[in-house]
Amino acid sequence: MDPEDRDQFKTLHAICKPPLAGALTSATDRPLCSLPVAADRTRLLLGSYRKGDAEDPDVYTSAVAAVLAQYPEAIVRRVTDPRGGLPGTSQWLPTVHEVRAACEREMAPERERMRREANRARTDAICATSADPDAERRKQVAQEIRKRMAALDTGATRKADPWRMSPDEADAYIREISARPVAPLSAAALGRRA
């Protein structure tokens, strides 16, 4: 490391708190970019422009490196890549805000993927732990329905089916049904009709 780079790294180290290096991002399992890599990628990013107009170049460089150090190394490499990152898409020296916005845009798909995986894991855990408490009840209801259907499917029911009767049997059945007395309505039924 050059003496100039050491000075820049010391400035960066003073701005960035040491726990940032190697910490995990909240949205990914990947470790954050180390400070030396952030400083190197900052030099690549800022060196890709013709001229930089910063009030204090040391503070500006350190601030950009501090922002880059808050993201995984793969994101930092994509943002600082001259072919498709900020140097390839912006003709002016980016502000610290623009560097952070570019990092956030690159992180969005990663955060969405992690959100989907967390939802999937939560759903799998719920499905694995929840036994079907209604399965036994459904079996009982199905058996009851089968019993009632069997009771309905007697010879008398089949005999009363007009589609299976001969014309003479159907006439006799109609005379038999019409001769039956009609049961009076119950008080409850009369109350509902009113």
Distances (CA, A) of 22 to 9, 116, 128: 16, 25, 35
Mean pLDDT of 141-158: 67
Asked if 69 and 21 touch (Cβ cutoff 8 Å), the reply is yes
Q: How far apart are CA 161 and CA 111, in angstroms?
A: 66
CB 68 within 8 A of CB 99: yes
Reduced to 3 states (helix: H, G, I; strand: E, B; else coil), residue 24 is strand
Residues 6+ apart with CB under 8 A from 64: 42, 45, 46, 94, 96, 99
Element (H, E) at 164: none
State both tokens at 134: 């209604």
pTM over 0.85: no
Q: Where are the domains of the chain?
A: 3-129, 135-193
Average pLDDT over residues 38-65: 81
Confidence of residue 164 (pLDDT cuts 50, 70, 90): low
Task: Quote the DSSP letter at residue 141.
Answer: H
pLDDT at 44: 83
How far apart are the C-alpha atoms of 179 and 128, rounded to whole Å? 62
Query: pLDDT tens digits for 53-100?
Result: 776 778 888 888 999 999 999 999 999 988 888 888 888 888 889 999
The pLDDT of residue 115: 93
For residues 18 and 88, the model is more confident at 88
Give CA angle at 76 (100, 87), nearest 5°: 75
Across 3-17, 78-92, 101-115, 170-184, least confident range: 3-17
